[in-house]
Chain A
Amino acid sequence: MNLELGFELKKGHFVLQANIRIDWQQPSTHVIFGKSGIGKSHLLRSICGLENPNGVITWQDDHHLDQWLESERRISIPCHLRPVTMVFQDNQLFTHLNVEQNLRFAFDRAHASEQDWQHCIEALKLTKLLDHQVQQLSGGQAQRVALARAILSKPKLLILDEPLASLDWQSKHDVMRYIKQLNHEWQLPVLYVTHDVNEVLTLADQVIMLDEQNGVSLVHSPRSLIDVLQDERHPFYGLGKSSILIADNNQQYQDGLYHCKIGEQIMRLPMNPNHRKPSQLRLCIAASDVSLALSAATDSSIVNILQGKVSRIEQTETGQYLIQLKIEDQYLLSEISQYSFERLNIKMWQPLYAQIKGVALQQAL
């Protein structure tokens, strides 16, 4: 399956250019990643047929080739005839219909079978919610219903536009579980849009970058995304104020914690002993979870302390300081207050200890 985009969309002063071919070897998830306001929504709306850009959009799967847009030949398949469905950030359920009627709306227009219906209701655990009004649903439940509605419309391509952005932490995890199933359970290729680095790392099989200079053009593996995020020349540097460390797992288990190595330094991580033990781990660490000290504290509850040298100092818009530490050959970001910055008297290439309060995410490589 592949989606080929070659178009230009003008909206007042805003111009979006897309020249890219997105390939799905098997149903997998591609993440479109970029800052807010860069035109991600316009890109999606153009693919769906809600905007009418100038150029070409082609969808090809095993059986045939669909020309969704070809401006020169005045072809533009209207939105309701394109086999794409989109899930929006704010679920967008129809408020005058209850949960079941919302699902039926998609089901009735998609020639889906009764089995599809049953399968979907059970897999997304919606049986008990069917007779609810949509106003009664929590954010997470509503997004689950929106996901089910999209699945029931039997698209060939499913687009998710920041589906977790307006959810609280607990619901995020809940909904994320179901999003992960989309590829396998429903054989759906997914285009997922986000500006959250953690979501990219959790879901992405491939990353498509959107930035001011290049428009939509770059395709990366999540592995190379890490390099991009740590390259200070790149516009995404420091995005989401997180850093990523690659740790070698030396399979040592002690006091309920696993020992991993960053170069010669050791990190101890909580891990379920029954899980697969990969040889390398990707750790995503929020800058706000890293505090700095002049000496390695031994009287603290913090388990992970890494030694490094200050390689970059930057003041953020909020007056905080973002300090980059070079640890072995990797980089770690720490966000501290101006008060702390002055109290520690931080200078370039000064040795410091980074105390890591928590690891937001670990992912096997």
Chain B
Amino acid sequence: MDALLLTLKLAFFSTVILIIIATPLAWFLAHSRFKGKFLVEAIIALPLVLPPTVLGFYLLIALGPDGPGGFIAQLWGDRTLAFSFTGLLIGSIIYSLPFVVQPLQNGFSLIGKKPLEVAYTLNASFYDAWRTIIFPLAKPAYISAATLGFAHTLGEFGVVLMIGGNIPGETQVISIKIFEQVEALQYNDAHMLSAILLGLSFMMLTAIYATRKSANKTGML
């Protein structure tokens, strides 16, 4: 049960932080005419193609005592960010970033800059216009982004294995636990956890596709 709760907690916090980071990033990618934009896009898309072990390896070094992660950890007296929940969170955010940025970027591209500008001319300030126009218009994109980010974090394995180790209650997420149970030939336990993960993932994907369809109907996407 610990592993399930930890996984949900990790996925939840990753998703919240990802949405906050990805919103300005996706808006920039959707609307900026900056010439080096493709570089930013390529970097964000890297986790899509990179083997998780490679990403995990670099993260391990970065989070370790000699990397920037170790430096940050020293601020509160730790030696390293690796093998901790914070380290896992950082890893998940980088690993799932493209899954959150891309749906938002597509959504923002479809909406365009015009609604925001029209809102400005009707005396709405920046925050007002975002709250009342862009967020509601981009709701389907946000649902897609949040669900994909959440589901993808649930399923991550390689990166967690590299940087998280396997500390029960601290870094032992559900996918690692299943792996461990299979190794130990505890098939019954593995069956149960796998079924939970399968059900969760299926439910979330159903939610995405259902909102996409209704969004199409109202002409919002």
Q: Contact string, B112-146, partner A, CB cutoff 8 A, digits 1/0? A: 00110111111111101100110011000000000
A149 to B122, CA, bound (A): 8
Judge whether A88 and B118 touch: CB under 8 Å: yes
**B219 CB within 8 Å of chain A:** yes
Counting CB contacts under 8 A, is A46 at the interface?
no
A and B contact pairs by CB, cutoff 8 A, 9 listed: A50-B117, A80-B125, A94-B133, A95-B218, A96-B136, A96-B218, A105-B122, A109-B124, A153-B123
Summarize B's interface: helix, strand, loop or mixed: helix
Q: How far is the CA of A79 from the CA of B118 in the complex (A)?
A: 10
Chain B residues with Cβ below 8 Å from A305 are none
Does B55 sit within 8 A of A, measured CB to CB?
A: no
**Residues of chain B from 51 to 66 with CB closer than 8 A to chain A in the complex:** none
User: Cβ of B208: which chain A residues have Cβ within 8 Å of it?
Assistant: none
Contact of A38 with B by CB under 8 A = no
Min CB gap B90→A, angstroms: 35
| B residues near A149, Cβ cutoff 8 Å | 122
In the complex, A179 has a CB within 8 A of chain B: no
- Which chain B residues border A79 with CB–CB below 8 Å? 117, 120-121
Is B45's CB within 8 Å of the partner chain A? no
Asked whether any CB of chain B lies closer than 8 Å to the CB of A49, the reply is yes
- A50-B117, A105-B132, A135-B219 known; A96-B122 Cβ under 8 A: no
Contact B118 A95 (CB under 8 A): no
Residue of B nearest to A153 (CB): B122
Q: Which of chain B's residues 162-221 have a Cβ closer than 8 Å to chain A?
A: 218-220
A243 within 8 A of B: no
Residues of chain A within 8 A (CB-CB) of B114 are: 88, 92
Check B220 against A109 for contact (C-beta < 8 Å). Answer: no
Q: Which residue of A lies closest to B33 (CB)?
A: A12
Residues from 61 to 119 in B contacting A, C-beta threshold 8 Å = 114-115, 117-119
Query: Are A84 and B121 in contact (CB-based, < 8 A)?
Result: yes
New A-B pairs, 11, CB < 8 Å, besides A94-B119, A95-B218, A133-B218: A50-B120, A80-B128, A85-B121, A86-B121, A88-B118, A92-B115, A95-B220, A96-B218, A109-B122, A109-B123, A135-B219
Judge whether A48 is part of the interface by a CB distance below 8 angstroms: yes
The answer to whether the Cβ of A106 comes within 8 Å of any Cβ in the partner chain is: yes
Residues of B within 8 A of A135 (CB): 218-219
Number of interchain pairs (Cβ within 8 Å): 66
List, in ascending order, chain A residues with CB within 8 A of B119's CB.
80, 94, 105
Q: In the complex the two chains form, what is the Cα distance from A110 to B121 in whole Å?
A: 11
Task: Give A351 to B42 CA distance when docked, in angstroms.
Answer: 70
Taking CB atoms and an 8 Å cut-off, the chain A residues in 86-116 that contact chain B are: 86, 88, 92, 94-96, 105-106, 109-110
Task: Type the 1/0 row for B26-54, where 1 means its CB is closer than 8 Å to any CB of A.
Answer: 00000000000000000000000000000
CA distance A166 to B87 in the complex (A): 55
**A110:B123 contact, CB within 8 angstroms:** yes
Distance between Cα atoms of A135 and B220 in the complex (Å): 10
Known contacts A105-B132, A135-B219; is-contact A92 B118 (Cβ 8 Å) = yes
Q: Give the contacting residue for B120; candidates A80, A88, A110; CB below 8 A.
A: A80
Q: Write out, one digit per residue, whether chain A residues 4-33 have a CB within 8 A of any chain B CB (1) or not (0).
A: 000000000000000000000000000000
Please determine whether B122 and A49 come into contact, CB atoms closer than 8 angstroms. no
Residues of A within 8 A of B121 (CB): 48, 50, 79-80, 84-86, 153
Q: Which residues of B contact A88 (CB under 8 A)?
A: 114, 118
The closest CB in chain A to the CB of B118 belongs to: A92
Query: Which residues from chain A contact B129 at a C-beta distance below 8 Å?
Result: 80
In the bound complex, do residue B137 and residue A96 qualify as a contact, i.e. CB atoms below 8 Å apart? yes
Interface residues of A in 57-82 (CB under 8 A from B): 78-81
Rounded to whole angstroms, the CA-CA distance of A49 and B123 in the bound complex is: 11
Q: Chain B: which residue is nearest A146 at the CB level?
A: B118
Chain B residue nearest to A82 in the complex (CB): B121
What is the distance, in angstroms, from A252's C-beta to the closest C-beta of chain B?
51
Task: Assess whether B125 is in contact with A96, with CB atoms less than 8 Å apart.
Answer: no
**What residue in chain A is nearest B138 (Cβ atoms)?**
A96
- In the assembled complex, the Cα of A341 lies from the Cα of B137 at a distance in Å of 56
User: Which A residues touch B128, using CB under 8 A?
Assistant: 80, 109
> What is the chain B residue whose CB lies nearest that of A109?
B123
Contact A94 B115 (CB under 8 A): yes
Closest Cβ of chain B to A297, distance in Å, is 52
Among residues of B, the one whose C-beta sits closest to the C-beta of A134 is B219
Q: How far is the CA of A332 from the CA of B117 in the complex (A)?
A: 43
Q: Which 10 A-B pairs have the closest CB atoms?
A: A79-B120, A109-B123, A106-B122, A92-B118, A80-B120, A96-B136, A153-B122, A86-B121, A80-B123, A80-B125
Bound CA–CA A106/B117 (angstroms): 13
A95 to B124, CA, bound (A): 17
Measured between alpha carbons, how far is A92 from B124 in the docked complex, in Å?
15
Q: Are A49 and B120 in contact, CB atoms less than 8 angstroms apart?
A: yes
Whether the pair A96, B124 counts as a contact (CB closer than 8 A) is no
Residues of A within 8 A of B120 (CB): 48-50, 78-80
Measured in the bound complex, the distance between the Cα atoms of B123 and A149 in whole Å is 12
Q: Which of A48, A95, A133 has the most CB of B within 10 A?
A: A95
Q: How far is the CA of A342 from the CA of B125 in the complex (A)?
A: 63
Q: Which of B114, B121, B125, B219 is most buried by chain A, counting CB atoms within 10 A of its CB?
A: B121
Most central of A84, A92, A96, A149 by chain B CB within 10 Å: A96
Q: A81–B122 Cα gap in the complex (Å)? A: 9
